[in-house]
Amino acid sequence: MNRLTQLGEEQLARALKARGIAVAKPAPPSRHGDLTRYQCDPVGYAREVLSLTLTDAQEEMLCSVRDNRRTAVQASHGIGKTFLAGVAANWWYDCWPEHIVYITAPTWDQALGLTFKEVKVQRWSASLPGEILESGVVRDPDPRKRPAHYIRALNAENGEAFQGEHAAPILVILEEAVGVPGYIWEALDGLLTHPESRALAVGNPTDASSLFAAACQAPEWHPLRVSALDHPNILAEMASRPAPFPKAVRLTWLEEMLAKHCRPVDQLSGECFEFPADSGRFWQPNAVFQGRAKGEFPTLADEQVIPAAWLRTLPQHRPEGIPEIGMDPARLGADRTVIAVRQGWCVLDVRQVRQMTLDAVTGLYIDVAREAARRAGCGPRELVGRIDVTGGLGAGPYDFLRAQGYHKVVAVNVTEAALDKQAFKNQRSELWFTMRAWVEERMIDFSRLSEEVCKELFAELSAPKYAVDYQGRRVVEPKADTHKRLKRSPDLADAVNLAFAARLGSGGPLVLFGGSGDSLYDDDDEW
């Protein structure tokens, strides 16, 4: 027999602590008496047991969990959805002696650090009974008496299966639901076998193609939408009154979102909205604002990285400075090797070839560089070149060119982490959105390209779609997805993007230069 099993409780605790094993800390005994009286009154439980004040939207969310088998809450940033999920978990656990709560999220850190953290804080503040384990479990003070009574955080990130007492009523909470893996959604049907079981999915509606979006449209789910625009804090501060919920969304944040992610328009149309109410000020939101401020899934039109209409009214500029080159290489097959040349804001040349060996590709790069350098009155080795080496295909031309003295050629792997890790998931997304910024500001000049090339290029530039992930980062769809919809790879667009992405691949911040040397981001920006 293991020696540890022979020890008393106090001795066992000391032995475990000496071995570096965390010991559960039981919460103080409850002072609230029999909590089963709140089984049909989750709002009363929150108010009288947890001593919390809820917004009207939060009360509606709690009552929906009580009344509906499945509740999907698409909510803006800062409205207290995680806080409310913690209330729902504690209510379910405290008011029924044999009920179970499962909490999951896209990552283990989120499962522990979001809803389960709220569960712990609320229980400690209210002196609620139960043993709280650092492994993400709340259980009965005597688990031998009621083993099927607990709150448990699940590690969906590692594919941990939902295992438990499926015959008992279960509340499943999906935090940051837009990023929860598909196998978790598939497991829900098996978990909710008991007629009293419930599911609560909460998150920012940032990806219209997600399973969370599908749930919000499914008849078996009760959908709720919570917008920041009508949050009590916003309404109070607009009336010059103190915010009643200081930790929730504030007017300053909303004003910053309006300035960054909306454009003023003259009248209401499509997805436009009026704010403030009855002000006569109308706004056209982008996908980020729709998901994180309005609590709406982005429309299909807004999922375009670069709307086609933006490309039709671009002005002309004078070529200035030393030309720069972007190259998207391909070996054989249907894809093309494309080399794009720009000088200042002007795209001078987009050259595409098929069925070329790597030696021929490098030779083509040198020919293009010499021609562009001659027109600009400089040497070909002075030109900055960026070669896509994603998947290793561009590594050969890159190595050869560097060996030939083209030391300003840099390698770019678009699957690597973005330089601005908070705004973009990867460098591909960063590339496309820097191009989007310049097209939106009407800085790019394509007028020197032929009508045929422009037609093909514009179709590729307007083809990719994007979403916003559960961390609020913009994510451009994989190249393969664009290929399926466009029926070809957007090679021309990728080469042009590379030509304009100064410093990408060189270790510095992503900066786009125009003919005047102005940049989108200052050199001293924190990335």
Q: What pLDDT is attached to residue 165? A: 58
* Same domain as 291, residue 316: no
- For residue 137, the cross-strand partners are 133, 152
Asked, for residue 356, whether it belongs to a domain, the answer is: yes
Asked, for residue 258, whether it belongs to a domain, the answer is: yes
For the full predicted model, state whether its pTM sits above 0.75. Answer: no
Asked, for residue 237, whether it belongs to a domain, the answer is: no
Asked, for residue 521, whether it belongs to a domain, the answer is: no
Phi then psi for residue 53, to 5 deg, are: -110, 125
Name all contacts of 421-426 with Cβ < 8 Å and 24+ positions apart: 421/473, 421/527, 422/472, 422/473, 423/473, 423/474, 424/473, 424/474, 424/475, 425/469, 425/473, 425/474, 425/475, 426/475
The 10 Å Cβ neighbour count of residue 252 is 9
Domain final residue, candidates 260, 276, 299: 299
* Same domain as 355, residue 253: no
* Same domain as 387, residue 329: yes
Give me the tens of pLDDT residue by residue for the chain, a chain 527 residues long: 444 444 455 565 566 566 655 555 554 445 677 899 999 999 999 999 999 999 999 999 999 999 999 999 999 999 999 999 999 999 999 999 889 999 999 888 888 999 999 999 999 999 998 889 988 999 887 767 777 889 999 887 665 556 555 668 999 999 999 888 888 888 888 889 899 999 999 999 987 778 898 899 889 999 999 999 999 999 999 999 999 999 999 999 999 999 988 889 888 777 789 998 888 899 988 888 888 999 998 765 557 888 887 887 788 999 999 999 999 987 555 568 899 999 999 999 999 887 677 788 888 999 999 999 999 999 999 999 999 998 777 888 899 999 999 999 999 988 898 888 888 889 999 999 989 888 888 889 999 999 889 989 998 998 898 887 777 788 998 888 888 878 788 999 999 999 998 655 443 334 433 333 333 323 222 21
Q: What pLDDT is attached to residue 396? A: 87
* Same domain as 186, residue 274: no
* Same domain as 365, residue 281: no
Domain final residue, candidates 270, 299, 328: 299
Distance CA 320, CA 317 (A): 9
Asked, for residue 506, whether it belongs to a domain, the answer is: no
Q: Which of 488, 521, 339 is nearest to 419 (CA)?
A: 521
Domain final residue, candidates 163, 191, 226: 226
* Same domain as 69, residue 155: yes
Residues 6+ apart with CB under 8 A from 504: 386, 410, 412, 419, 427, 430, 431, 498, 510
Asked, for residue 480, whether it belongs to a domain, the answer is: yes
* Same domain as 335, residue 294: no
Asked, for residue 139, whether it belongs to a domain, the answer is: yes
* Same domain as 258, residue 169: no
Determine if residue 100 is left, alpha or beta; phi over 0 gives left, psi from -120 to 50 gives alpha, anything else beta. beta
* Same domain as 411, residue 343: yes
> Which string of DSSP letters, residue by residue, matches 110-161?
HHHHTHHHHHHHHHHHHT--SEEETTTEEE-SSTTT-TT-EEEE--GGGT--
- Exposure of 196 in the CB half-sphere (CA atoms within 13 A): 12
Q: Are 202 and 85 in contact (CB under 8 A)?
A: yes
* Same domain as 496, residue 440: yes
CATH number at residue 63: 3.40.50.300
Q: Which of 494, 491, 502, 492 is nearest to 449 (CA)?
A: 492
* Same domain as 312, residue 293: no
Count of domains forming the chain? 3
* Same domain as 322, residue 290: no
Q: What pLDDT is attached to residue 75? A: 94
Residues 6+ apart with CB under 8 A from 2: none
From residue 449, how far is each of 297, 349, 372, 382 by CA, in Å?
Answer: 37, 6, 14, 24
Report strand pairing: 409-412 vs 137-139. Answer: unpaired
Asked, for residue 412, whether it belongs to a domain, the answer is: yes
The number of angstroms, rounded, from the C-alpha of 288 to the middle of its chain's C-alpha atoms is 10
Q: Which domain holds residue 423?
A: 308-500
